[in-house]
Structure 1
Amino acid sequence: DYAQIIGLSLQSNLAQSLPSSALQLVKPLQSEILSNRWLSTQERGALFRTAKELDKNRNGNEKWNANLSINDEENIINQAEDLIKVLHDKKAKSSLVITNNGNMPLYLDFKTQGYSLKPQAESNGIKVKRRYFNLQGDNLNISNIKTGDMVLVHINMTLDKKYSYLPDAMLVELLPAGLELENQNLEHSMKLDEIKIDGKYIYDWTSNTYVKHSEYRDDRFIAALSLSSYKDNDLFYLARAVTPGEFTVPPSLVEDMYRPEIRTVGKADGQMVITEK
């Protein structure tokens, strides 16, 4: 909302004649962005349009002056345009000092990008658990699977009480490379409702879960659903082991499609081992 107000005011002659400028909202907008790691497509679009308006309205001829020190190597900067510096590999760990030598305020945006060697579980408002079974409803050891075996996957999702209800949640289940989904939307597909898990039919497990849409893709199972904090939300899908080998099992991901900061990344399940039958 801050970004939309700033952007519209910069385009309006009437807003520019008012005693207080919408530019005063830049600082609150910055704080809002820093407090939310995940932004929706709409929020990113609003920020992009506002950034373009801010760039058009600044005095492009006014230079700024600063010292940039990387590993004690000094660089004097005196220019009007933005400075973008990208540090790779070992240089990314360098000591970095920026000193403003001018009278105008400078805005610094510093980002790091990388990945952990082992996926880290995280939970912000949603929790997800995953279990594996065979068609008899017995627990399945994923390190001892034969080609042709059916793998029944149970996903349990719980929502934090403070959110009460999420109408637009998305579950994304990336598949280990050795599995292939069995599409439950096909007419002659294997029906799961009569399989018992922990003494309870799958139909009963899923009767309170409202799935709006599901897709059985080559590399993932996707479901758009609503989540309630007053009940467990359960889903099942079926896959077949088709390729022998040892495969990393990706974690489950659940997030709100319009508030992606409400999300969870499940615990990594290690390696799935599939051998020839």
Structure 2
Amino acid sequence: MAGGDETRLALDLSNLTATPQTLEVHLNAEGQLNLSGLSSQTLTLSPGQRSTLQVPVKALGGYGTGKLTVTVKGLNLPGETLAPFTREWTLGVRPAYPALLKHYRAVLNDQPWTLPEGELQAFEPAGREALLSLSSRPPLNLGEQIRALKAYPYGCSEQTTSGLYPALYADAALLKRLGLEGEPDADRKRKIELGIERLLGMQRYNGSFGLWGADGQEEYWLSAYITDFLLRARDQGYAVPPDALKKASERLLRYTQERNLIESDYSDNLDHTRFAVQAYAAMVLARSQQAPLGALRSLFERRSDARSGLPLVQLSIALQKMGDQPRAEQALVAGLAVTRAADQWLGDYGSPLRDQALILALLEENNLMSGQREARVFALSDQLAASQWLSTQERNALFLAGRDLLGQPEQPWTAQLVSGSQTRELNPAQAGLKLEGPLLASPLSLRNEGSVPVYQQLTISGYPQHAPPAGGENMSIRRDYLGMNGEPLNLKNLQSGDLVLVHLAVTAKQRVPDALVVDLLPAGLELENQNLGQSAASLENASSQVKQWRESMQNAGVQHQEYRDDRYVAALNLEGYGTTHLLYLARAVTPGTYRVPPPQVESMYRPNWQAVGETPADMVIKGR
């Protein structure tokens, strides 16, 4: 259910005794569930009689669970004294609308900072929380990067890998400093083990990796990224099958030696894409002294192919580890001087922010250019402040760039948070704080109690009280709820059992090779058919327009689909012309009134390219 949904739960009571029973039924709702009717009822059941009580409930906003407790009193059996009979059920509650994030950055000197009045009212109270980060250095908002990576609900090979890095490197002590609650060590280790298993399930026959599975296209840069993680996990003591690592390393070796092996369906500069793959593969291999020096020197001669500094820095580290210090120094100087253009897609999952963050992480990890690193932190923080949306690549790069900074000494500082009636002191030992409940209230202010400037980052996250306006950048999405004849349905008058054909129309002005479509289902609908794209029987009586859409879907660049309990997900390659049509079938099941989530589409690695479609406010399903 979603916040605001109203429905009726059916409670069956049967008298299996030989005597009449007069029962008192008491109902109690907790968490994010409210009773909409009476909390107690009395009913009489004859021997063998069955009765169904309708329990009207309403879901509250936010994300969590609601619990319904039923207590039955008065059960009478000859010669026995029976205690009340109790049963509990839980219902998941999720927001109807996409998550909302608001960022507030400031430098605290002698004047306090105050959260603007009314800002908290944009969020549903349930599920509203914030992460506060303070530092004498410009913040990279590590706590928020870790939280967002952990919460990301989809799992291609890149997203899986990026989401595992914080689990690999962020222990409970680091999380506590950031204001986050760490999971038990056994759970963290199990998460990494399951992640490794999932990644190995995406390894292709030749040692490379696919984006969504082993049967997908070879992902060259990602193969180096995943192999890098697997080797790091092995070095941390996790079990990674040697054969899988051997195959992956052999594939990376071929990348370094055979430039033309590397292809790209979509890159604004194929020479850079090949250079980036080769440089990353070389660095991964050089850590274990497996990178051929001749191949590295040949790559160095083509350093002008690079359109970003990151692969040059990676090549520099590979050359240094393989013993060619002069070329390593030249490549490093060149890499630190190159800036990536923001308007180019280079087939390496990167962006100016991602590349600069990974460069900083590599400089710290390899103890290079210590005199420049502080200035690079300031520049990276400015880039972060200008970025409204972040990809999983960017978030993990920021985490890797910032994790070593936390271990370095900083100037002493103290600050005080006042939130409603609550007060907290912060300092370098406790630089982060999670705010929720009474600790996230108005008025909220921060004051620097020392003389050292303190950089503040406050991120409030939660779910909006109202549907977001339709619109977006570069892309658009439209959804139609249709009958099987292709005609629009009256969403205020659906009958339980009705089939609903859902049509999604997605367009892009510029090509988006990594589009992700997400359509959350209203709680009263259930997915009916998981293979509609190849099914003709269910659409025999559909209109010619619907049949054209089905043929279009079969020919579309759909790379991956998921049919979950509460949503339909599709990853696809959107061309910069025409319309991509997607279809899936659902069934109206449970009577009630339900909020209708809007359809969404985003570019996974150009996160500012995203769109939200229009949506009706409610869907009403009536019983037959």
Task: Indicate whether the TM-score tops 0.5.
Answer: yes
Task: Tell me the residue number matched to 2:561.
Answer: 214
Distance 1:8 1:208 in 2: 43
Distance 2:368 2:535 in 1: 65
1:9 aligns with 2:363: yes
Contact 1:196 1:202 in 2 (8 A): no
Report the Cα offset of residue 120 of structure 1: 0.9
Q: Which moved more, 1:78-87 or 1:145-154?
A: 78-87
User: Matched residue of 2:447: which SS?
Assistant: strand
Task: Tell me the residue number matched to 1:21.
Answer: 372
Report the Cα offset of residue 109 of structure 1: 1.0
User: Matched residue of 1:113: which SS?
Assistant: strand
Paired residue type of 1:257: M
Contact 2:420 2:440 in 1 (8 A): no
Instruction: Name the structure where helix makes up a greater proportion of residues.
Output: 2
User: Matched residue of 1:28: which SS?
Assistant: helix
Gaps of 5+ in 2: 1-354
1:249 aligns with 2:596: yes
Distance 1:69 1:202 in 2: 56
Task: Tell me the residue number matched to 1:108.
Answer: 456
Distance 1:204 1:79 in 2: 61
Distance 1:63 1:241, change over 3 A: same
Paired residue type of 1:8: L
| Per-residue deviation, residues 27-65 of structure 1 (Å, max 9, x unmatched) | 221122122233222222221222221112224xx4224
Contact 1:193 1:203 in 2 (8 A): no
Task: Tell me the residue number matched to 1:48.
Answer: 399
1:152 aligns with 2:506: no
Q: 1:143 aligns with which of 487, 492, 503?
A: 492
Report the Cα offset of residue 189 of structure 1: 7.2
1:234 aligns with 2:581: yes
| Per-residue deviation, residues 165-224 of structure 1 (Å, max 9, x unmatched) | 111111111111221212242887744387326587334554663212222222211111
Contact 1:184 1:191 in 2 (8 A): no
Report the Cα offset of residue 230 of structure 1: 1.2
User: Matched residue of 2:467: which SS?
Assistant: coil
Q: 1:83 aligns with which of 427, 431, 445?
A: 431
Within 5 A, what are the aligned runs for 1:159-170? 159=508, 161=509, 164-170=510-516
Contact 2:513 2:574 in 1 (8 A): yes
- The structure number with the bigger radius of gyration is 2
Distance 2:475 2:553 in 1: 18
Paired residue type of 1:170: L
Distance 1:76 1:267, change over 3 A: closer
Q: Which moved more, 1:187-196 or 1:145-154?
A: 187-196
Q: 2:519 aligns with which of 157, 173, 180?
A: 173
User: Matched residue of 2:441: which SS?
Assistant: helix
Distance 2:360 2:503 in 1: 46
Higher relative contact order (CA closer than 8 Å, sequence separation 6+) = 1
User: Matched residue of 1:111: which SS?
Assistant: strand
Task: Tell me the residue number matched to 1:260.
Answer: 607
Contact 2:484 2:541 in 1 (8 A): no
Contact 1:133 1:151 in 2 (8 A): yes
Distance 1:76 1:195 in 2: 63
Report the Cα offset of residue 21 of structure 1: 0.8
User: Matched residue of 2:379: which SS?
Assistant: helix
User: Matched residue of 2:389: which SS?
Assistant: coil
TM-score (norm 2): 0.39
Paired residue type of 1:107: Y
Report the Cα offset of residue 89 of structure 1: 5.0
Distance 1:47 1:41, change over 3 A: same
Paired residue type of 1:99: N
Paired residue type of 1:149: D
Report the Cα offset of residue 87 of structure 1: 6.1
Within 5 A, what are the aligned runs for 1:109-124? 109-121=457-469, 122-124=471-473
User: Matched residue of 1:51: which SS?
Assistant: helix
Distance 2:427 2:454 in 1: 12
Instruction: Name the structure where strand makes up a greater proportion of residues.
Output: 1
Contact 2:527 2:563 in 1 (8 A): yes
Percent of counterpart pairs with the same letter? 36
Distance 1:189 1:245, change over 3 A: farther
Distance 2:554 2:467 in 1: 32
Q: 2:528 aligns with which of 175, 179, 182?
A: 182
Report the Cα offset of residue 24 of structure 1: 1.0
Q: 1:126 aligns with which of 465, 469, 475?
A: 475
Task: Tell me the residue number matched to 1:202.
Answer: 549
Paired residue type of 1:11: E
Contact 1:10 1:57 in 2 (8 A): no
